[in-house]
Amino acid sequence: MNFEIVTVGKIKKNFIKNGVAEFKSRIERYSSLTFFPIQEEPLLKGASEEVILHKEGERILSKVPRDGLWVALDRQGREMDSLEHFAFLNAQVQKGMKKIYYLIGGPLGLSPAVLNQAHHRLSLSRMTLTHEMSALFLIEQIYRYLNNRAGEKYHK
Note the pLDDT of residue 155: 67
Note the pLDDT of residue 144: 95
Neighbouring CB atoms inside 10 A of 46's CB total 4
Q: How far apart are the first and last CA of the chain?
A: 23
Question: What structural domains and CATH numbers belong to the chain?
Answer: 2-40+48-149 (3.40.1280.10)
Note the pLDDT of residue 136: 97
Neighbouring CB atoms inside 10 A of 100's CB total 22
15 burial via Cβ count (<10 Å: 0-12, 13-18, 19+): exposed
User: What residue type is 94 in one-letter code?
Assistant: Q
Q: Which of 150, 153, 156, 147 is nearest to 27 (CA)?
A: 147
Note the pLDDT of residue 47: 87
- pLDDT digit of tens for each residue in the chain (156 aa)? 999 999 999 999 999 999 999 999 999 999 999 999 999 999 888 889 999 999 999 999 999 999 999 999 999 999 999 999 999 999 999 999 999 999 999 999 999 999 999 999 999 998 989 999 999 999 999 999 999 999 998 766
Kindly give the interhelix angle for 131-149 and 14-27, rounded to the nearest 10 degrees.
Answer: 20
